[in-house]
Amino acid sequence: MPSLPPVFPTRRQFLNGAGLLGVASSIPFVRQLLAGGAPVAASEGTSAVATPVTRNRAPLAPSAFYLLPLGSVRPRGWLQAQLHIQANGLSGNLDETWADVGPDSGWLGGKGESWERGPYFLDGLVPLAWLLNDARLKTKAQRFIDWTLDHQAPSGMIGPASNDDWWPRIVMLKALTQYQEYTGDARVIPVIDRYFRYQLSQLPTRPLRDWGKFRWQDELLSVIWLYNRTGSAYLIDLARLLRKQGYDWMAQFANFQYTQRITPEYIKLEEGGGLKDLGLATHGVNNGQAIKTGPMWSLVSASGADRSAVLKMISELDRYHGLPNGMFSCDEHLAGPDPSQGSELCTVVEYMYSLEQALAIVGEASLGDRLERLAFNALPGTFTDDMWAHQYNQEPNQVECSLHRKPWTTDGPESNLYGLEPNFGCCTANFHQGWPKFANSLFMLSGEQETDAHDGLVAAVYAPCEVRTILRGMPLHVVEETDYPFRGIIQLTINPAAPLSFPLQLRIPGWAAGAMIRVNGQLQPAPAPGSFTQIERMWRTGDRVEIALPMTPRISRWFHNSVAVERGPLVFSYGIGESWVKLRDRGMTADWQVFPSTQWNYALNVDTGTPAKSITVTEAPVGANPFAARETPVRLHLKARKLDAWRAEDGVANPVPESPAKTDQPEETITLIPYAAAKLRIAAFPLCKS
């Protein structure tokens, strides 16, 4: 893998050892990657065919924004490169090296794993395949889709007959609805309709339980999706029954009780408490999925309190379990604010998906800020650069990845190894949805009315892409050119088919005081940070909008008054020297431990009032993989001193010493790189005592 140190085999060495180099080198993407160049698509995406947005039908409440039909947004630049790396890594090859989603999967009619892993895999594979227009990946996904659609039971049940758990069907419904939007396959809606009618008849005597009970809001997504396309009244009844049987997440966060690190003893894990309500209510992935519950339910209830519940949920998780990378601790239960605690990869991608849905419904700019913080830090921070291995848990202060039980609350000793399925295979099946669904959420539609007379376009989160949609009955093409989040300039070229008047809303991050916007070179009124600013005018082909977001380094405060260093949406970390040691081969990939080869225990000597005065920024070109340490396009340089009293035990950094911390070590200049670029890192630092 090109960006890892020599002790870890490069992608070329790996392929050569596996006897695949000759084949791989014939693939344009791999050939370019091995040569150190930018990836070239094996099958470039075609231009999206603009289709109208589907709005909420009465009696559903309107959303602030609406996600564009899948396929409307196409990634470009570094984001497209990330999707290609993903497709050429585990995502695109998992079924060839992991039996759980291989040819004997129960979701292909086999006798293998028949619960959540096939649907999880498909939930990310479908958007990845269709965003890249990759025929190979489409074929892989189509096998699961066709088997599910063509083997519906006479009763209406879908999926393997070996289990009747509602939970894995909830995930498969998400995959089917995405597939239908991309392809228009006429089989999908009748199959889902028959399934929902069957489920409505069965739930009174076979109610939701364990995972399904706590993740009911994810089925509500599919119920509302179908209702907006068919208007069948029974679906509102089904939605209300799901709410009645599902766990009351709004009540949990209205009076949040789980303010301490959750221990196995607390949830009685050894006594079978893992699937009891207490264990499931404090489970990280469940909480990540729950973030969208209030906004989703508000579409049915029309309650403003339900709609705003998402902000309360995030606030409570941040207050008691928040970490600098934007996550809350969950390894795999809530674990407090110590940055040596971890977060499960499944929680990262589910939290992102919840924020994408909540942002569309609520229209709150801070949700976009949080989504970017996760996407640009926590998501890539848990993969190897070539995405052939991942962690189950990541830590903001991660000084070793090895076989230790500490510090995990309820997980095992493999939890932060890089590999195929460290600790548990759910993340192996589920991580694929992160980047593709993020790409699909970059732009949204505004306008609550039933007609399109007042529609507008919303730049919700930022990354290089292009958009094709229909606005007020007119085809519209928008190109976004940017190196964000590594640079602060975002350029939009607006291309309506004919002159068209509409409002363009631009999200201004909460950290972006002093942002500037120009339209065709003309400076616009200063936008307010933490808001959506609106520009309404007659747009003509070739009109250009430039957003300049100030990328000034800043400081945020965390556990024990520690500090994290940020710039734009990026969190920066001290990259510890890495020594990679193979634990075992795992088919096409391997499991790895990573040990520190340099010291890491620094306290920063930085001016917290005006950090930019004591931090120097250097920039380099944005390359094919900007989240890799050797290619990082931005570095920060600042003064620090070693803090000898801060050490590691059993491979885990002790809690950050309370700031300010006294040290008599000489001052050094250290370099910080983006959080995700360092696989061993310190992201929360003590401050030096003056």
The torsion of the CA quartet 647, 653, 656, 660, rounded to 10 degrees, works out to: 30
How far, CA to CA in Å, does 158 sit from each of 165, 198, 229, 498, 537? 11, 10, 20, 46, 49
Query: How many Å apart are CA 187 and CA 160, to the nearest integer?
Result: 19
* pLDDT at 607 > cutoff 70: yes
pLDDT, residue 451, reads 61
* pLDDT at 19 > cutoff 80: no
pLDDT, residue 49, reads 60
pLDDT, residue 50, reads 74
Q: At what angle do helices 188-202 and 216-230 cross, to 10 degrees?
A: 130
Tens digit of each residue's pLDDT (9 = 90 or more) over 543-586 = 999 999 999 999 999 999 999 999 999 999 999 999 999 999 99
Amino acid identity at 519: V
Nearest C-alpha neighbor of 686 from the set 608, 615, 617: 608
Segment 250-266 shows an average pLDDT of 97
Mean pLDDT check: name the lowest of 42-46, 401-405, 502-506, 551-555.
42-46
pLDDT, residue 22, reads 31
Element (H, E) at 436: helix 434-440
Amino acid identity at 273: G
pLDDT category at 624 given cuts 50, 70, 90 is confident
Segment 143-151 shows an average pLDDT of 98
Tens digit of each residue's pLDDT (9 = 90 or more) over 273-329 = 999 999 999 999 999 999 999 999 999 999 999 999 999 999 999 999 999 999 999
Mean pLDDT check: name the lowest of 24-33, 270-279, 533-542, 614-623.
24-33
pLDDT, residue 8, reads 33
pLDDT, residue 439, reads 98
Whole-model pTM: value is 0.93
Q: Which residues pair with 603 in a beta bridge?
A: 641
* pLDDT at 15 > cutoff 50: no
Average pLDDT value over all residues in the chain: 92
pLDDT category at 682 given cuts 50, 70, 90 is very high
Mean pLDDT check: name the lowest of 35-39, 115-119, 612-616.
35-39
Segment 644-670 shows an average pLDDT of 96
Query: How many Å apart are CA 179 and CA 174, to the nearest integer?
Result: 9
Please state the separation of Cα 413 from the chain's center in Å. 25
pLDDT category at 37 given cuts 50, 70, 90 is very low
Query: How many Å apart are CA 660 and CA 686, to the nearest integer?
Result: 7
Query: How many Å apart are CA 258 and CA 267, to the nearest integer?
Result: 11
CATH of domain 447-548: 2.60.420
* pLDDT at 105 > cutoff 50: yes
* pLDDT at 13 > cutoff 80: no
Q: Where are the domains of the chain?
A: 447-548
| 621 class by beta-carbon count within 10 Å (0-12 exposed, 13-18 middle, 19+ buried) | exposed
The torsion of the CA quartet 232, 236, 239, 243, rounded to 10 degrees, works out to: -170
* pLDDT at 7 > cutoff 90: no
407 preceded by a cis bond (ω within 30 of 0): yes
Tens digit of each residue's pLDDT (9 = 90 or more) over 494-512 = 999 999 999 999 999 999 9
* pLDDT at 1 > cutoff 80: no
What percent of the chain stands above pLDDT 90? 91
Segment 101-107 shows an average pLDDT of 98
Q: Which residues pair with 669 in a beta bridge?
A: 639
Q: Residues 454, 447: contact at Cβ < 8 Å?
A: yes
Site of tokens 């890491």: 600
pLDDT, residue 52, reads 85
pLDDT, residue 44, reads 40
Query: Both tokens of residue 484?
Result: 């964000």
